[in-house]
Chain A
């Protein structure tokens, strides 16, 4: 199975900050990567697919990049509603696998 490793596991930041979360795959997955946002008690929400494509309706302050084994999710200017947990997920090979999550907290 392909292992997905996110870093950091948690990060504290302030409104207006730029934040970057990284995701590393244990083997190359091309651009078969998605990013999700999950708030407590809610279902995950797709933010980015195919590593860098912004899902419809998602604010442009979210962006994704990378290919192969190394990927990043960047939030250019944090807003209060962005404090949540973020997951990466590979869709290259079954079984699909998720990263362990990155909790973004208010500083």
Chain B
């Protein structure tokens, strides 16, 4: 069964840092593009970041560029989101979502269960 499990969320003060992880299982992780998507409480979905299967290509939303860093460890079947200089508006449930195994087929399926990040003093 394909499964994605996020961890690392929690309460952090404004200006602080947090590292999210996404553990993948049930598929050949190293072959797939991966994404981070977030959802603020009661709001819609916002794409955050993309990373290619090799990790060589990474894109970010303007709202997080320069503050967030996406990486992956294909040997550990894991995806990461290092978040720094956190702001109240970063408060959200963060999901990892699998993309495609073939370039240009980056459809988000499946998604993890999400991990809540709360930025507050």
Contacts of B68-121 to chain A: CB distance below 8 A? 95, 106-114
A38 to B110, CA, bound (A): 13
Output the least CB separation between B92 and chain A (Å). 13
Stretch among A14-22, A43-51, A63-71, A75-83 lining the B interface: A43-51
Instruction: Tell whether, in the assembled complex, residue B113 and residue A43 are in contact, meaning their CB atoms are under 8 Å apart.
Output: yes
Instruction: Tell whether, in the assembled complex, residue A34 and residue B107 are in contact, meaning their CB atoms are under 8 Å apart.
Output: yes
Instruction: Tell whether, in the assembled complex, residue B44 and residue A44 are in contact, meaning their CB atoms are under 8 Å apart.
Output: no
Q: Answer yes or no: A98 CB below 8 A from chain B CBs.
A: yes
DSSP class of A's interface residues: helix, strand, loop or mixed?
loop
A97 to B112, CA, bound (A): 19
Output the least CB separation between A29 and chain B (Å). 13
Q: Answer yes or no: A87 CB below 8 A from chain B CBs.
A: yes
A94 to B33, CA, bound (A): 14
With A43-B95, A43-B112, A43-B113 given, is the CB distance from A98 to B44 under 8 Å?
yes
Q: Identify the B interface with A (CB < 8 A).
A: 35, 37, 44-47, 50, 59-62, 95, 106-114
List 14 A-B pairs, Cβ < 8 Å: A36-B45, A36-B108, A38-B45, A43-B113, A44-B108, A46-B109, A49-B107, A55-B109, A87-B44, A89-B45, A91-B107, A94-B59, A96-B47, A101-B44
